[in-house]
Structure 1
């Protein structure tokens, strides 16, 4: 198992990627990443060295806090126990997790949730869910113009999903849309949770109503995605609702939601892939994900093609312009072969 210094060194080798993931409100300025604080506020008082012998070291000029990227992960995620910090770092780096060790109480599964590996907790949570059809999560997606979400096995509903405020530590529970994150073989590596307002008015009124748990890097939430056959053509993007909106008008095309721009850039291509359509997000992080995935696709001999919405995102297009207009817009962006194969 890697030591703390080894983990910090691995993170420092990917300092900018770490910053883009955990401090997404910041930006690169020369050889530094600038952001407001470890809570990911906008500003410039915290700076992280991105290259050179001090890569990964950071200082908050306003508070006097400083440390390495393990300290940054701990503060950004609100973690206390080093075991949880190390687990988070290993997941980010896609390193194998150490075998769980039993304590005096018996099997590790009997301990509190934080003591179980994140992938195990994700799988356990998914087993506790119920089918999506007719639930509050189904109603939420229908309000977003996504009418056939219950046909996707990756989507489930949890009526009372645990939520912890990372700032105050207070805990509560809300109904939630649960999405399975899987690898290319279909094995669950994580889950994505979208907490919902119990009264049915959009998302829950919390600071961060969306969170992922488990192994994301290289994986994603998959829709209409075969796990036993080659996948010559697919579409990939960040958000679940973005990809569900595309799937609504192209139900035959395999799709994957990688959940963040950094994880989109690192998505693992399926065997036999020839073309990948990348659903555009207009922000800087979205452009970073598109550029990263495009470069990797080209290096693998795969043709990357970007799909752009007319409005802010593809869910806006679906809701405000309607499925007919969205279909026409996509027809102009797909190859003629794919337009015939995947559009009505």
Structure 2
């Protein structure tokens, strides 16, 4: 039975997107992942199913950032169909694999390397076509979030007419967007993150998913400053820029989501890691996962916790001085002297 299950899991992984469209119909494809609320097909963005093979993870593997659960597509079939007996799971998987494939989007994904390469190149072109954010809608947007835009070191740019597709079958819409560069540990370009904005800059654009990324994201991040021995890592760009307003000389990275924070690659020179978690279950699960990996590598870890939902909410509600004081209480004394004095 174990061998049969392994072979079924491999066959399902070759058709990962088709499996997700069939059993997780409440979700949607975003880049190399299918994103949904949980393995029982609830709406949301907590669970990520990898659709393409990568050096770090095979296709078909999934992680729920809110619960830290993980598994393969057999687990998805079991949970979404409410099956208890494993023989019923096997029978349902075999039934699915025998279904005709009429939708070209449901064909097996055999090799994602060419697609990943095209995605990275498209991201590179978008970033090159964008302009500095000074005196743009992106700068206005950041100031509405109490963030001064002068501390990003060129990592952020602005595109006045950035395409947005509500779904794969829709014609593209055009919105202004803040575009962030994603890089690997060596500083090599791997992708971009887009935040579509209201034309007046007072909020994000009124679309279903105003934040999306493209390119090779797993393990990589949006980076502010060069890492030596100390690093602050967290999820969102606005959250980490809020910390950057106070910790202007400390290197900071935004992994872009809880699941990507848990998978963040850490530099060999790192000796101390601050994890700026969001105040939700997914944020805590990601912080614990990254803590375990960092401590196993001999890195000292500190968890930074916001008073409200995240550190941007803290900055907006407390103001810069109270925000600085609250953060100071959570830093090691030597880092207060080094980065806050």
TM-score interval, smaller chain: 0.7 to 0.9
1:23–1:35 CA contact under 8 A, matched in 2: no
For residues 334 and 50 of structure 1, do their structure 2 counterparts lie closer, same or farther at Cα, with a shift above 3 Å needed?
Answer: closer
For residues 11 and 251 of structure 1, do their structure 2 counterparts lie closer, same or farther at Cα, with a shift above 3 Å needed?
Answer: farther
Question: 1:25 is matched with which residue?
Answer: 37
Question: 2:105 is matched with which residue?
Answer: 80
C-alpha deviations, 1:244-281, integer Å up to 9, x for none?
00000000000000001111011111121011000011
TM-superposed deviation, 1:170: 3.1
Query: Are positions 1:247 and 2:244 aligned together?
Result: yes
Q: In 1, Cα distance between the equivalents of 2:318 and 2:72?
A: 49
C-alpha deviations, 1:120-177, integer Å up to 9, x for none?
1111111110011111001100111111346421100000001111175232110000
Q: In 2, Cα distance between the equivalents of 1:237 and 1:342?
A: 18
Question: 2:170 is matched with which residue?
Answer: 169
Question: 1:335 is matched with which residue?
Answer: 332
Query: Are positions 1:8 and 2:13 aligned together?
Result: yes
Query: Which of 277, 282, 285 is the aligned partner of 2:279?
Result: 282
1:141–1:149 CA contact under 8 A, matched in 2: no
Gaps of 5+ in 1: 27-32, 43-47, 72-77, 91-96, 101-114
Question: 1:186 is matched with which residue?
Answer: 187
Question: 1:271 is matched with which residue?
Answer: 268
For residues 168 and 41 of structure 1, do their structure 2 counterparts lie closer, same or farther at Cα, with a shift above 3 Å needed?
Answer: farther
2:15–2:106 CA contact under 8 A, matched in 1: no
1:181–1:190 CA contact under 8 A, matched in 2: yes
Question: 2:310 is matched with which residue?
Answer: 313
Aligned residue for 1:35, secondary structure, equals coil
Question: 1:203 is matched with which residue?
Answer: 204
Question: 1:159 is matched with which residue?
Answer: 160
| More deviation, 333-342/196-205 | 196-205
Question: 2:140 is matched with which residue?
Answer: 139
CA-based RMSD = 3.6
For residues 59 and 287 of structure 1, do their structure 2 counterparts lie closer, same or farther at Cα, with a shift above 3 Å needed?
Answer: closer
Question: 1:54 is matched with which residue?
Answer: 74
Q: In 1, Cα distance between the equivalents of 2:331 and 2:107?
A: 48
C-alpha deviations, 1:87-116, integer Å up to 9, x for none?
7xx5xxxxxx14x8xxxxxxxxxxxxxx97
2:183–2:223 CA contact under 8 A, matched in 1: yes
C-alpha deviations, 1:264-320, integer Å up to 9, x for none?
011111121011000011111111110110000011000111001112211111111
Q: How many residues align?
A: 286
TM-score, with structure 1 as normaliser: 0.73
TM-score, with structure 2 as normaliser: 0.74
For residues 320 and 138 of structure 1, do their structure 2 counterparts lie closer, same or farther at Cα, with a shift above 3 Å needed?
Answer: same
